[in-house]
């Protein structure tokens, strides 16, 4: 059984990687030099797909079908081509088809700022392994980390599960913000991983009731260094987003502009103090809080407690107090602002957008405003819905597919 995920491990699906990746639906192909887009994607034993090959042009992609047809599963497969756990944050073993042996694969030919690349991810030998971990391959080379994927293709997503972002836990808003940051600063993932690793080791040390200072000092130095670096990256990202929101706030009235802030001990300190001074202060806080943290069985202060605070700009109201429709429009506007930031400030490369059931809660005016912005960004947005008529605005400017029981028809 092969370990290369560019070729699914089965003769029946070997053809998934044949061909040159044509334009699929026909029409004029826009140059792929100024956007992130997928030319071909292949699935093997992934969710409800036993096998699938889809050839695409850089135009927006619309997937229409009934609930449960597999539209979101395909978006999830695309999301796994970027760093992290994908749009559902699913356990690796749950991604395999029920009818298979636990193996699965997703492979794609992608285009981005670094040029053309072949990305593969999946699992082999699942039935023989006690621990199932997916592997990632980039142009035939196995990666030890998924971070380099962020340099090959930039992907953002918006799903119905995110509708409660502003009223839910702060951890979900932090995760959302950190993914926005990752699109134009892949180093933030390393900063977070280093901080989290040191924090886990310190938490374990607290559980042993160890009191010797030297056992904690090294870990707390690492937490201060990487925690402050992460907080500084967040502040930079927020300021850049504020800038693009100010620049475009009068152009897009269908989606209200957002006000953005960070509520965190390190982020607040960095607004008035140098990073080295904040590191020193945070080390002192960690040292003085050891007894308190030991009682709580976790570290109580740090960038892992920061909240991403969003407000409705025109109404001067916290997003959490807005109506469901207003929150959906705010969130969509924030995604569009970030896409503009990437497009305008990062060499004109529009990110690839995954917008699941995006048209469900918008009236025609807002739908058309969204679709117009997608075309203006020159963006390969993947959108799902249950009604073809919701996407009539695109005409021939999008490639539209019907999804029915894992069968996809142009």
CA-CA distance, 53 to 51, in Å (whole number)? 7
Residue-level pLDDT at 7:
36
CA-CA distance, 347 to 42, in Å (whole number)? 29
CATH number at residue 308: 1.20.1050.90
CATH number at residue 47: 3.40.50.300
Residues 193 and 140 in one domain: no
Return all residues near 226 (Cβ < 8 A) that are at least 6 apart: 191, 192, 194, 195, 198
Q: What is the largest CA-CA distance in the chain?
A: 70
Q: Taken in order 5, 9, 10, 14, is the CA torsion positive or negative?
A: positive
Give 402's strand partners: 64, 409
Residue-level pLDDT at 283:
97
Return all residues near 209 (Cβ < 8 A) that are at least 6 apart: 294
CA-CA distance, 235 to 275, in Å (whole number)? 12
Mean pLDDT, the chain cut into blocks of 10 residues (410 residues total): 35 32 34 75 94 94 93 96 89 88 93 89 76 85 74 88 92 91 79 95 89 88 97 94 89 87 97 97 97 95 97 95 93 92 76 92 91 92 94 94 86
**Number of other CB atoms surrounding residue 204 within 10 Å:** 11
Residue-level pLDDT at 406:
72
User: Locate tokens 């009604």: which residue?
Assistant: 387
The CA-based dihedral angle spanning residues 345, 119, 142, 76, taken in that order and rounded to the nearest 10 degrees:
90
Residues 199 and 276 in one domain: yes
CA-CA distance, 257 to 267, in Å (whole number)? 23
Q: Domain limits at 361? A: 11-154+349-409
Rounded (10°) angle between helices 187-207 and 213-248: 150
Residues 285 and 220 in one domain: yes
Residues 191 and 95 in one domain: no
Residue-level pLDDT at 65:
93
Residue-level pLDDT at 26:
32
Domain boundary among 317, 335, 369: 317
Residue-level pLDDT at 302:
97
Angle at 385 between CA 376 and CA 181, to 5 degrees: 50
Residues 125 and 210 in one domain: no
Domain count, the chain: 2
Residues 368 and 292 in one domain: no
CA-CA distance, 33 to 277, in Å (whole number)? 43
In 3-state terms, what secondary structure has residue 222? helix
CA-CA distance, 167 to 321, in Å (whole number)? 8
Domain boundary among 268, 296, 317: 317
């Amino acid at each position: 059984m092969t370990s290369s995920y560019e070729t699914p491990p089965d003769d029946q699906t070997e053809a998934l990687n044949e061909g040159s990746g044509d334009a699929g639906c026909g029409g004029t192909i826009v140059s792929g030099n100024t956007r992130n887009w997928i030319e071909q994607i292949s699935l093997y034993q992934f969710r409800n797909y036993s096998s699938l090959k889809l050839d695409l042009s850089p135009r927006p992609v619309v997937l229409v079908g009934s609930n449960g047809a597999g539209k979101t599963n395909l978006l999830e497969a695309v999301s796994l081509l970027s760093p992290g756990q994908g749009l559902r944050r699913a356990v690796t073993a749950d991604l395999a088809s029920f009818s298979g042996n636990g193996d699965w694969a997703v492979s794609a030919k992608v285009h981005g700022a670094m040029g053309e690349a072949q990305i593969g991810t999946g699992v082999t030998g699942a039935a023989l392994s006690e621990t199932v971990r997916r592997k990632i391959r980039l142009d035939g080379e196995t990666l030890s980390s998924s971070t380099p994927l962020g340099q090959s293709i930039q992907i953002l997503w918006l799903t119905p599960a995110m509708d409660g972002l502003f009223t839910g836990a702060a951890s979900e808003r932090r995760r959302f913000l950190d993914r926005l940051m990752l699109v134009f600063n892949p180093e933030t993932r390393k900063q977070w991983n280093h901080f989290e690793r040191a924090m886990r080791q310190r938490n374990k040390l607290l559980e042993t009731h160890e009191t010797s200072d030297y056992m904690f000092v090294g870990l707390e130095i690492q937490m201060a260094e990487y925690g402050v670096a992460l907080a500084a990256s967040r502040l930079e990202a927020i300021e850049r987003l504020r800038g693009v929101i100010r620049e475009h706030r009068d152009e897009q009235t269908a989606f209200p502009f957002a006000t953005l802030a960070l509520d965190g001990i390190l982020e607040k300190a960095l607004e008035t103090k140098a990073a080295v001074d904040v590191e020193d202060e945070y080390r002192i806080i960690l040292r003085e809080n050891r007894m308190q943290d030991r009682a709580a069985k976790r570290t109580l202060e740090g960038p892992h407690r920061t909240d991403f605070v969003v407000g409705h700009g025109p109404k001067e109201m916290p997003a959490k107090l807005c109506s469901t429709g207003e929150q959906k429009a705010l969130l969509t506007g924030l995604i569009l602002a970030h896409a503009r930031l990437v497009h305008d400030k990062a060499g004109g490369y529009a990110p690839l957008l995954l917008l699941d059931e995006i048209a469900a809660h918008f009236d025609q005016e807002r739908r058309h405003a969204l679709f117009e912005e997608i075309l203006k960004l020159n963006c390969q947005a993947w959108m799902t819905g249950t009604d073809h008529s919701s996407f009539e605005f695109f005409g021939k400017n999008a490639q539209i597919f019907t999804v029915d029981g894992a069968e996809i028809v142009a």
